[in-house]
Chains A and B, each alone.
Chain A
Amino acid sequence: MSQEAHSVTGIDSRKLLMWIFLASDCLFFGALISTYLIFKDNIPNPPYPTDRIVNGEFFHGLLNIPLTSVSTFVLLMSSVAMVLAVYGAQNNNLKMMKGWLLSTIVLGIAFLLFQVYEFRHFLHEGLGLSTNQFGASFYLMTGFHGVHVGIGVIILISLLFGSFRRNSLGSDTGFHIETAGLYWHFVDIVWIVIFTLVYLMPY
């Protein structure tokens, strides 16, 4: 692309675009997480996210911290794999790049499977999208996050196939992987925020 030549700052325009897009995405998740936090103490009917006693009756909380800790760990490890894939790409180590890229993809899909399991489990426990504000804001927030992870997986798969097709790094592959990595780490960081605010914070 012609824009590489024109860079006043020395930063590739495409990477800059990704950074600024992520700034925008912060507000996107900010609004979703705020909605969840606003409603979390004003849920009119069960099921509730955490153990609660309402009018003398005990309700089990749905959020499963140990299970989600495992899925969070999986997503964190995918970021480590992503870093190693970028390292491989930048050091012209094609084998290393492909291997770690594949690991990132597998870990990303594993995280999504955890999420599918969690959603199915919650549905089974009687929490639908329209059951109460917990269901609505939880599914919307984690659903949009899952969509972000899914798009990330598709991008990484495309890059992996691209690298097989050309069987060399090409002039741009390392760069593409690095930019995709920015996105991947961002989605990971968002999950850490969600995990902390939604699952870990006592209330």
Chain B
Amino acid sequence: MTAVLPLTVKENSNSGIWSWLTTVDHKKIGTLYGISGVIFFILAGAEALLIRTQLAAPNGTIISANVYNQLFTMHALMMIFLGVMPMGAAFFNWLVPLMIGARDVAFPRLNALSFWTFLSGGLLLTSSWLFGEAPDVGWFAYAPLTEKAYTIGKAMDFYAAGLILLGVASTIASLNFVVTIINMRAPGMTWFRMPVFVWMIFVVAWLLILSLPVLTIGLVQIYFDRNFATNFFNPTGGGDPLLWQHLFWIFGHPEVYVLILPSMGIVSEVLPTFAKKPIFGYSAIVFAGLSIAVLGFAVWSHHMFTTGLGPVPSIVFSASTMAIGVPTGVKIFNWLATLWGGSIRFTTANLFSIGFIALFTIGGISGVMHASPPIDTQQQDTYFIVAHIHYVLFGGAVFGIFSGFYYWWPKFFGRFLDEKLGKINFWLFFIGMNLTFFPMHFLGVQGMPRRIYRYDTDLGWDMWNQVASIGSYMLAVGMIVFLYAVWKAYKTEPNAPDNPWDAPTLEWATSSPPPEHDFDVIPVVHDRDPLWYNRDNNIVQEQVTDEHIHMPPPSYYPLLLSIGLLVGGIGLLTTLIISFVGVLLVFYAIWGWVLEPTS
């Protein structure tokens, strides 16, 4: 269907900086998330390259121990909170309304607020580099290292304030998308006709809603310990460092699924399209996702086996961790069965998705290995764990995200990413990632600890470290190829048809790129694969519309409110008077927000 823009649509000015600052359009917000996510992803990748360069040869001399500590801490924080999560957010902002046949999210202004608050938190956290105060105690920030006595400067205050802001942003976004998915579905879009991607986002949003408040409390307690001399986590004052570990991992483990589930959703959309088959075992995949959501809250202590929890908790958490491997395995078999017997097209998007299955399976299997406490005791804090998390996060989450980039780019921007460059990108990533992270399994088993900034030459770790570093440069080259493909696409004329891949889901029913109001006519859904159903039953979507489409007007209050929160955060790092100014700004923005007409 070609986009016939009805004249009755109230057009808001669509270009210029101001339109981006005040936008409440889920597609523009998705693009903003995507751009910031990719930039932070590149910065965090650059940090990793520095780490790999330092470790390429024994007794590296490029960076000091102190900077090294900051690098691995910030690499993790930025990849997780500022790279992968916002890139996932870019997809769910763009796609959830389109996939469920809605014109926007339930609360467009809250959606803008979550982006600007995310950016505030991201800038606050990364600005710690500029003051030489980047957090350097690992992204998990174990007490009592975070206490004033051990981290003197402001680094941990940056950590606490930045993550609180990022948590607020994610909570707002999650609340918004849960309500959107529950309440904004098009006629006929029943729960079990929703695309798997939407289901996965529903699960992710619930995980964040229920886990982030626990982290927030932990961060507040760190902040109080450091600034108001309380002793929540300081053992010399009667505090309990393990309390922090519990609070952190009650958030931290669901967070792992927050990172991977959007990519699992993307893969579940890409594979059926390019196998020309409906997804195999739809309900099994959905229920697997839901059981991951439940079990995800019952496995956190497997990060703490070496703290001496005692036999009973160790057995319970070991069992629940092995159990969570089952729904994950169910998904993998479903994806394989989706491919089985299909007429497969090896596009770049599909290659990334197939790569996802292979690499994620490797990471998943090593994950089940350290679900066993005695094995984990051997592997804890070695490079084996580093290998594991990068197989699930890079081979899993990032491969899924890149699959999504190549798949939906024509829908988002009306232009294809070059397939030839895409395939170069894929192979550089695939080979580079295996070169970088597979040797880390060997290094880990040989006993190389994590987070050491140099190692001696007689330990037998030289060769595999060198291989890993070469692999990391291949990943960097792959990223440059991707950026060149983006640049090339940007320079071409939009030429993408509405449904170039012959995909089954609703976002392909509208034009590429979609109009501001997404759909001229809200589609009616008859089947789980609506566009294939329409194609096979010769149902043509109604073209004409005379209804008045009302889109919410732009608003600058979300931006203002986020600036207020940012000022509040800066106050936490300097003096509380500034925080007070921030609170006033927040109140003013809420006041204007509430009284602002929305029609």
Contacts and interface: CB of A to CB of B under 8 A. Distances in A.
Given A20-B175, A39-B240, A13 B224 contact: no
Nearest to A28: B213
Nearest to A45: B238
A36 B368 CA distance: 35
Given A35-B221, A42-B238, A20 B230 contact: no
A130 to B, nearest CB: 4
Contacts of A38: 240, 243
A13 B213 contact: no
A8 B106 CA distance: 12
Nearest to B599: A2
B240 A3 contact: no
Given A3-B107, A24-B213, A25-B213, A17 B184 contact: no
A24 B102 contact: no
Interface residues of B, number: 40
A contact patch SS: helix
A31 B213 CA distance: 8
A129 interface: yes
Interface residues of A, number: 37
B213 A129 contact: no
A24 B212 contact: yes
Interface in B544-599: 550, 552, 594, 598-599
Contacts of B599: 1-2
B171 interface: yes
A7 interface: yes
Contact of B184 (A6, A43, A44, A136): A6
A21 interface: yes
Given A6-B102, A20-B175, A38-B243, A136 B231 contact: yes
Given A17-B106, A27-B213, A31-B213, A2 B598 contact: yes
Contacts of B247: 31
A16 interface: yes
B183 A31 contact: no
Contacts of B239: 133
B224 A28 contact: no
Given A28-B217, A31-B214, A136-B224, A13 B209 contact: no
B284 to A, nearest CB: 25
Nearest to B106: A13
A13 B183 contact: yes
A132 interface: yes
Contacts of A30: 213-214
A27 B228 contact: no
A23 interface: yes
A9 B106 contact: no
A137 B224 CA distance: 10
A31 B217 contact: yes
Contacts of A28: 213-214, 216-217
B207 to A, nearest CB: 11
A35 B214 CA distance: 11
Interface string A124-140: 00000110110111001
A54 interface: no
Interface in B205-251: 209-214, 216-218, 220-221, 224, 228-232, 237-240, 243, 247
B388 interface: no
Interface string B478-511: 0000000000000000000000000000000000
B185 interface: yes
A8 B183 contact: yes
A11 interface: yes
Contacts of A194: none
B221 A27 contact: no
B178 interface: yes
Interface of A: 1-3, 6-9, 11, 13, 16-17, 20-21, 23-25, 27-28, 30-32, 35, 38-39, 42-45, 129-130, 132-133, 135-137, 140, 158
7 contacts: A2-B552, A2-B599, A3-B107, A3-B183, A6-B106, A7-B183, A30-B213
Given A2-B550, A8-B182, A20-B178, 12 more contacts: A2-B598, A8-B185, A11-B183, A17-B176, A27-B213, A32-B217, A39-B240, A42-B240, A45-B238, A130-B228, A136-B232, A140-B220
